[in-house]
Every structure is written in structure tokens, then in C-alpha cells.
Amino acid sequence: MTDAPSSSLETPEFRRGPGGRPTREEAERRHRALLDAATALFLERGLNGASIDAIAERAGVAKRFIYARYADKAELFVAAIGRFVEERLSPFKRFEVPEIPVEAGLHQFGRRLLALALSPEPLSIYRTLVMEGSRFPGLAQLFIERNRERAFSGLTHLLATYAERGEIVLDDPQMTAEHFFILMIGIPQRLALIGIREDEAQADRRLRAAIRLFLEGCGKRKGT
């Protein structure tokens, strides 16, 4: 980490002001540019293919700026992709649970979630975590630890709302949301990773089957 380039390699809009230190606003702007560049390159090339040099060049920042914030490339990946995941999931956090029966509500939510999970970027992220896990020990664990709660917060809220309405029983919201996510997304996502896409009718049939199976386990129990 001693090969950091001088500040003269930074792009003009990032040059330091009087005194040699950037303002807080400038530092935040540089950081956003860094995360934007890192996200783009990680999605394009994967973790191993995106070098710190390439990220620094695209972001227009010095390598020392990166290493002052992240110990290594794996930590930068977790931060950049974690922010990307949070942005993509933000509409689900604001999802207003409709006043319709639970099965219909879960189907409406599930269709949106499935569309996101099968889009190119999430598939690239999943593929990277699987392929680079052995090359970067602890990467997947770190990613899960830092992103687990926010990744499932929208689904957890949805299930909690239906539990409050008395339509399902929810003993462990986080774990239940994770199990339901796998029921809905697991097979379609794995098929997509090997280049197989089901037609719309089959995908919807699979989604409805997952919802029915879920409700058999979490549906309102007799006597409750």
C-alpha cells in the first residue's frame, strides 16, 4: 500500500483547496465518486478483474484516498455493492402493503422482487460472491453481516404487517423473511445464473406455488 499516486493524478474537479486538505463536502463527493466507480467496475469485471488502480483512475482519486477508508479491495466491494443493493431495494422499503388478502399481497410484492432478483446486476453480484469466496476469505460473510438486515427489511415489514392483521403467524420475522425469499427466488435465480429463463406463465405458476407453500406453514392457525 505504499504505491499511492500523488495528488497531481487526481482529476481537476477533485484538486485540493487552500491548505492542502479537502473540505468535508469535497471528501464526501470524492467518496461518492469512488463508490460509483467501484460499483461499475465490480459489476463489469467482477472482484478479481477490477483492480484498485482501475477504480482509482475511473473515480479520479488517489489510491491513498481509497486505502484511508478501506483496508483492502474486499472491504471496498462490500461497501460499494452494499450501497448499490440498498438503493435498488429502497422501493421495497417504501412498499405500502395493500388492503387485500395476504396471498394476493404477497404475489404483488413477489413479482416485483423476482424482477429485481433476475436482473443482470444482482446476478452479477451473486456470481461474484460465489466465485470469489475462496480467493477472498471472509468476503461473503462480511457482505452478509453488513447487508443482511437491510436486504430483507422490506419483506420483513410486509410479513409483519400481515401478522398484525392476523392473517399469518410470525414467530421470527428475520428468519421467516429469509426462508420466504428463498422459496420465491431460489430456483428462478439459479436457473438464470446458467442462462435459463422460464416463460412468464411458468414463472408465475412457480411464484404462486411458493406463496401457497409459505402460507401453509405461516398461515393463521386454528384456535388463534
**Burial of residue 64, with CB atoms counted within 10 A of its CB: 0-12 exposed, 13-18 middle, 19 or more buried:** middle
Q: Per this entry, what is the length of the chain? A: 224
Query: Cell 478501506 sits at which residue?
Result: 70
Per residue of the chain (224 residues), what is the pLDDT tens digit? 333 333 334 444 544 555 556 788 888 999 999 999 999 999 999 898 999 999 999 999 999 999 999 999 999 999 999 999 889 888 888 788 989 999 999 999 999 999 999 999 999 998 888 888 777 778 888 888 888 888 888 999 999 999 999 999 998 999 999 999 999 999 999 999 999 999 999 999 999 999 999 999 887 654 44
Say what the pTM is: 0.77
Domains in the chain (CATH in brackets) are: 7-67 (1.10.10.60), 86-218 (1.10.357.10)
Q: Do 209 and 106 touch, CB atoms closer than 8 A?
A: no
Cα 195 to Cα 201: distance, rounded to the nearest angstrom: 18
Q: Which of 106, 104, 219 is nearest to 169 (CA)?
A: 219
